Amino acid sequence: MIETQPREIARGKTKVLVQAPDAADEVEVHNMDFITAGDGARKDSFLRKGEYSTQTNDSVFTLLNSCGVPTAYVRRTGPSTFRAKKVRMLPYEAVGIFKVAAASSARKRDPSLQVGQEFMFGKYALFLKTTGKTFGPYTFEKDDPFITSSTEDGLMVCRPDLPVGTDNVPIRVRPEYVFPDGIVHPFDEMRALVGQVGNILSAAWAQLGCTLYDFKIELAFLPDGELVVADVIDNDSWRLVDENGQHLDKQRYRDKDTPLEVVAALYAEVAARSEGLKSIRW
């Protein structure tokens, strides 16, 4: 059955998902003009932000698809919209670190890390996605707590504001809240997929004269159970530094001392630069 009116499926801080009118197994994603920080505590907007996000996202997923990475991305459909396959999102935020930034949360978890320290093949971290600081019956001091280990009998989740190994005792999240359908999530496969994405993006941006410090992505299952990269990968998703060592990314907005018009110009620059990702092949 073809739907004649867009039906909203979900709404986030910066995007809206609606049912694709001509494909039951696809959604249309609309990127809005909002930019947020501090888990949404700070929120602004600037003209064409959604367009810049969509352009960057299209460039990134075009590259990943060309490299054989399994993704949910289908195609760009408008200035601020794109199509994606329907998926079941996993409750994690996966992070890859290639170079330690001054503001990196990894330095809070591991004080031995030095600013500028590099990891040739990336350093992997996983966070549990929460809403309003809660997940199932669990409440945390901050959203998206760090996962210290993952096993079939649950997850060891650490408060995100304290280093691992302190008096902070991780909470073991029971499996029925993480795996409500009884499917144990493939953590080794997830780690490998995040590493693959990171190595591609790091090498590709290096060819364009930029250094990828770190990035975050979200993972999902297709209806047939295949693990894929999903959601949006744009200038909100990484720390990206130009040839002069200047951040081109959302960190400039987080720092609060950068005028919004400067942030907007940086997002436009990254969107334009990202077009070069489409022509990179290995």
pLDDT given for residue 4 in this prediction:
55
pLDDT-based confidence at residue 162 (cuts at 50, 70, 90): low
Residue 39: is its pLDDT beyond 80? no
pLDDT given for residue 168 in this prediction:
63
Neighbour-count burial of 110, counting CB atoms closer than 10 A to its CB (0-12 exposed, 13-18 middle, 19+ buried): middle
Query: How far is Cα 105 from Cα 38, in angstroms, rounded to an integer?
Result: 13
Of 6 and 239, which is predicted with more confidence? 239
pTM (global) more than 0.75: yes
Lowest mean pLDDT among 137-146, 157-166, 180-189, 208-217: 157-166
Residue 105, strand partner residues? none
- Structural contact between residues 270 and 235, judged by C-beta atoms closer than 8 angstroms: yes
- Structural contact between residues 128 and 157, judged by C-beta atoms closer than 8 angstroms: yes
pLDDT given for residue 21 in this prediction:
93
pLDDT given for residue 250 in this prediction:
97
Q: Per-residue pLDDT averaged across 146-159, rounded?
A: 84
Of 36-40, 71-75, 183-187, 255-259, highest mean pLDDT: 71-75
pLDDT given for residue 201 in this prediction:
97
- Average pLDDT of the chain, as a whole number: 92
Lowest mean pLDDT among 45-54, 150-159, 171-180: 150-159
- Structural contact between residues 124 and 215, judged by C-beta atoms closer than 8 angstroms: no
Three-class SS state of 60: helix
Residue 69: is its pLDDT beyond 70? yes
Lowest mean pLDDT among 16-30, 58-72, 117-131: 117-131
pLDDT given for residue 148 in this prediction:
86
In the chain, the amino acid numbered 92 is: Y
pLDDT given for residue 167 in this prediction:
61
